[in-house]
Structure formats: C-alpha cells, structure tokens
Structure 1
Amino acid sequence: MNSFRHRHRFTLGLPPLALLIAAAGCSSADGTGSAAVPSPDAKATKLCRNLDKALPAKVDGESRDDPEPASALTAGWGSPAIILRCGVARPPKMADPEVADGRDPDALPGGVDGVDWLMERQDDGAFRFTTANREAYVEVHVPRGQDTSGVLIDLAPAVKEAIPEGIAS
C-alpha cells in the first residue's frame, strides 16, 4: 500500500508530539534562505498553488519571506527560516512500523489541529514535519533552536483549506 494511512492510523496525540517539539533546544542555526523546489504531478501542483494562496503572512510570529528560487511550491518565514515545501515525495519513515508504534526516538506521528504530521528530528537538531493523510505531502523544516510550538498550529488552517484529506499519489 502506498499510504501511511492504510498501514497505520495515527494513534499518538498532541502530548508526545508536543514533548518532542519542546525539546528543540535553544541554540541558533544558520538560515540559508533557499529551498529545493519539489516536482509534483499536476494534481499535487494545483493543490500546492492553492495552499500558497492560503498560507498565513506570519508563522509563529515570524513574517513571510519566501526562499529562492521563487516558487508557489515553497514558502518561508523568519531567519533562520522556517521553510515549507509542498508536493514533496512521501518520507520513507512513513512506512516504518517503529515510527507508527512510537518506538523510533527520532520520528513520531501525531496530529495538530486536525492535520496529521510525521515529525522527524534531523541530525543537525532541526525538525522536519510532513503531512500525512492528505492528497499532497507538505513538508515544514523548522531550524534548530526555533520555537516550534506555534508553527504547526499556524499552518494547520491553510493545510486543511487547501489540501484535502486523502491519499497522496
């Protein structure tokens, strides 16, 4: 099966995800202001363009400042930048049974305000969040030291509005 949804429905709620988010640390990271632009199929591209129109001007108090190269498939806020990329490939960890069962210390599924996410701690201390159970995958990179508590809450309304629940192709 091609979807995390079919293999395992998220069973962990906000508290475990919040604990991992809170563990993000306090040191700063260098923001580059650039992001690789995904190459999704036509359906996901249309959904991502809709998401771009729905995204908030501020995320976790940071103003929108899109990365280079300019694209409706990417967005950014603050410095170092919180980077959103829409139309990314399915993360390999979504098929990992240890993630679904909460046994992987560096990856955890959860939901925030009606949007399911896979949270992955990166080697550099940053976090990558990827939507699950949506018709397109949306990835959000939160740099090390960035207070992540409001990021997913601020992005949830736009994701729910623009990316329907379902299975990404």
Structure 2
Amino acid sequence: MSLRFARWAACACLPLTLAGCGGAVRVDPPAPEGVAAAACKALGERLPRALDGLERVESSPASPYVAVWGEARIALRCGVPRPATMTATEQVPEIDGVAWFNDPVRPALFTAVGREAYVEVTISREHTPQDVLVDLAPPIKAALPQTG
C-alpha cells in the first residue's frame, strides 16, 4: 500500500456540493465519448446500491456517468480526463486488480487508471479509501476492460 493512501484525510476539491438536506447532490458530470461512454454506462449499471454503509443517492444533474453515496461522502465520476498530475512513469498501487492513482494535491481523490475510461472517486475522511476501492473493484473490472 502506498503512502499516498495514508494521506486521504485532506479535503478534495471535486466539483460537488450539496443541494440541500435530503436533496440531490450536485456533481459536475464528465462527458466521455465513444468506447469510454459505453464502458461508463455499463459501469453505472453494475455499481452497488450501498457502499461502505452508505446508500446511493441522486445526483444533479442526473448522469449515467456519476454515482453518489451518502450525500457526497463518496462520489464517482466515470469518463474523466487522465489525471493531470500523473506522470507517464508513475507507479500506482493495485487493489483487487484495479490500479489507483492517488492525487498528491487532492489526497481524497483516487482515479482508476489503465482501463477503457478513467474513473475518479472522491472519498470523505469518514471512510477508509482501501475499503471503498476494494468494493468498487469488481464492477470496474467487469465494465471497463484494461488497456494495453
């Protein structure tokens, strides 16, 4: 496990906000195209209704590329751009067959890499990133084939 996983407690800057108690959570959806869009739609159909003890909630605007659990305690966006801070030779840890880049600038942000689409997951400090990423590995592996 990387030291980056230990730095998850800081605040992430993912563009999401609460729309109000009990309302939909505002998350800016990505706009994947082609193969990535199809793979992200397939991922959305496989994601769990509950994740690390949190129920999935609605996001606004509604998007097949976004999933939110527990009023933005955990948020997933599929089809995002390659992480800007990830170098070409970056060594990334693998959890249950999925490689995760942990952004050093935004330690609560993890991006699944080496797949048909990049999947960005923001995890609040109340949750252990490794637990969440282990639970997301099966649907990611099933929907998003690895790239060469």
TM over 0.5: yes
Residue of 69, 74, 80 corresponding to 1:77: 69
Aligned to 1:10: none
TM-score, structure 2 as length reference: 0.81
Q: CA deviation at 1:20?
A: 3.5
Q: CA deviation at 1:54?
A: 0.6
The size of the alignment, in residue pairs, is: 136
Q: Which runs of 5+ in 2 are unaligned?
A: 11-15, 19-24
The structure with the greater share of residues assigned to strand is 2
Matched AA of 1:62 = L
Aligned to 2:96: 113
Aligned to 2:111: 130
Residue of 141, 144, 147 corresponding to 2:127: 147
The 1:161/1:78 distance shift into structure 2, 3 A limit, reads: same
Q: CA deviation at 1:67?
A: 1.4
Residue of 12, 23, 29 corresponding to 1:37: 29
The 1:66/1:121 distance shift into structure 2, 3 A limit, reads: farther
Instruction: Note if 1:93 corresponds to 2:76.
Output: no
CA RMSD of aligned residues (A): 2.2
Identity over the aligned pairs, expressed in percent? 36
Q: CA deviation at 1:147?
A: 1.2
Q: CA deviation at 1:122?
A: 5.0
Taking the aligned partners of 1:37 and 1:130, their CA distance within structure 2 comes to 15
TM-score, structure 1 as length reference: 0.71
Conservation of the 8 A alpha-carbon contact between 2:68 and 2:74: yes
Instruction: Note if 1:51 corresponds to 2:43.
Output: yes
The 1:57/1:43 distance shift into structure 2, 3 A limit, reads: same
SS in 1 for 2:85: helix
Once the two structures are superposed, the pairs formed by residues 10-21 of structure 1 within 5 Å of their partners are: 14=1, 16=3, 18-21=5-8
Matched AA of 1:111 = E
Taking the aligned partners of 1:85 and 1:44, their CA distance within structure 2 comes to 12
Larger radius of gyration: 1
The structure with the greater share of residues assigned to helix is 1
Matched AA of 2:38 = K
Aligned to 2:142: 161
